[in-house]
Structure 1
């Protein structure tokens, strides 16, 4: 980029010999595609729980004059824009759906691109590459996740036990091996349920 007495004079993108006024100030600008990886930033999941997110931004300088005259440090400005976007876009935590991460990335890309366009930067992608719960809530969420998995496992086990008990009682009565009234049938169902649960290592 060329400047004279603080005023923009133009941009030279070609190589080779070029005659130039010695009073003109020349500043080199890298217009190649670049990648910037952030530090862990504050964010929130769809339920409002605190997260720490690391994002990867793919960007380049599109308008050299605006990029140099409008802001001092490109990466600092990108960091501020990403941080502002994360405050508006919920992000799926680790272990969430792949589609949720993709949707969050698309929303972040759109917001950051809109924010950086006026200062001559072009943003192609903003991707969350690491998402984890903030330290102050990580232990709580870990216990909640374990409790959810345990509840699902117990529900699945109980369904399997009920099916096994029903099948056993039906076979005994259909084949005429036992004759049971309502009370005896309830007692047998209870005893079989206890036996099957004990065999699976579940407390009765």
Structure 2
């Protein structure tokens, strides 16, 4: 099915015509002219074709099982009499998915998303699927599960994309897949965003410890790299300025003391050497 424009004329002109037919038919009947009966009957038939279209609303017309077209323009219209009208809202709507539990790399993860969508093809939304609202709900949850399994929850090694580290890429991937799935129902997806992402309660504690350990390890690595650079710069500066000549043993001791001072989590206590008594 593909949406097409239905036949319709200005409803106010149609009302004037119907009133004229009705009044004229009644007058002729009173004067005992049988031609007035068809005029009254015609006015009644035309009255069934009057349709009021609200803003952001569309109506698909079905006449004895045949799709005639869709009326989108708001206002008062006269369309095909005796046709069945099926209305669809064209407003932008939100769908908040349920919190789904997805198995990612053997770990259960809770995930949810919000989908912003609207109907752009009334014929597809009415005739190609049973109930497009339920279709959007089921396909959104299916697409969310499918996209979530493509990514790791968190990228501990710093390579590739992850659900936690690349929300924009994940949202774009989800929106593209949803558009492919929901195009069958004449629905356009405007936005898709993750609203909830967390480890399941049964493994949340263990994964939190893993994240903390990974963060501590990364911080330690940065501190050590910075400390080695500072010690190297200090040794080179002392030797280049000729402040003191250090043999290998004293140089090793100085490097050890500087690294301990810089890398230590707590403030170090200095020991001052004032010489020997003898």
| Residue in structure 1 matching 2:218, options 152, 163, 166 | 152
Helix, strand or coil for the counterpart of 1:39?
Answer: coil
Normalising by structure 2, report the TM-score: 0.56
| Residue in structure 2 matching 1:12, options 71, 74, 79 | 71
CA 42–71 in structure 1, closer or farther in 2 if over 3 Å, else same: farther
Helix, strand or coil for the counterpart of 1:27?
Answer: strand
Equivalent residue for 1:125? 190
Gaps of 5+ in 2: 1-59, 152-161, 269-278
Contact 2:61/2:86 (8 A) holds in 1: yes
| CA deviations over 1:140-173 (Å, ceiling 9, x no partner) | 3322222222112212222233233334444555
Shift of residue 175, structure 1, vs aligned partner: 5.2
Equivalent residue for 1:31? 90
**In the alignment, structure 1 residue 114 sits paired with structure 2 residue 180:** yes
Alignment of 1:181-196 (within 5 A): 181-196=247-262
| CA deviations over 1:21-73 (Å, ceiling 9, x no partner) | 45x4333211233332323234577x675443332323222332332233343
Shift of residue 174, structure 1, vs aligned partner: 4.9
| Residue in structure 1 matching 2:131, options 60, 67, 73 | 73
Contact 1:58/1:125 (8 A) holds in 2: yes
RMSD, aligned α-carbons:
3.3
Contact 1:165/1:192 (8 A) holds in 2: yes
CA 5–157 in structure 1, closer or farther in 2 if over 3 Å, else same: same
Measure, in 2, the Cα distance between the counterparts of 1:147 and 1:131: 24
Normalising by structure 1, report the TM-score: 0.72
CA 54–126 in structure 1, closer or farther in 2 if over 3 Å, else same: farther
Measure, in 2, the Cα distance between the counterparts of 1:35 and 1:103: 21
| CA deviations over 1:111-153 (Å, ceiling 9, x no partner) | 222222223x222334223241232443333222222221122
Measure, in 2, the Cα distance between the counterparts of 1:80 and 1:25: 29
Contact 1:44/1:51 (8 A) holds in 2: yes
Q: How many residues align?
A: 195
Gaps of 5+ in 1: none
Bigger RCO (CA 8 Å, 6+ sep): 1
Measure, in 2, the Cα distance between the counterparts of 1:110 and 1:196: 50
Contact 2:97/2:141 (8 A) holds in 1: no
Shift of residue 17, structure 1, vs aligned partner: 4.5
| CA deviations over 1:49-102 (Å, ceiling 9, x no partner) | 5443332323222332332233343232112212222233235433x1xxx333
Of structures 1 and 2, the larger Rg is shown by 2
CA 193–105 in structure 1, closer or farther in 2 if over 3 Å, else same: closer
**In the alignment, structure 1 residue 41 sits paired with structure 2 residue 109:** no
CA 17–128 in structure 1, closer or farther in 2 if over 3 Å, else same: closer
Helix, strand or coil for the counterpart of 2:78?
Answer: coil
Contact 2:231/2:258 (8 A) holds in 1: yes
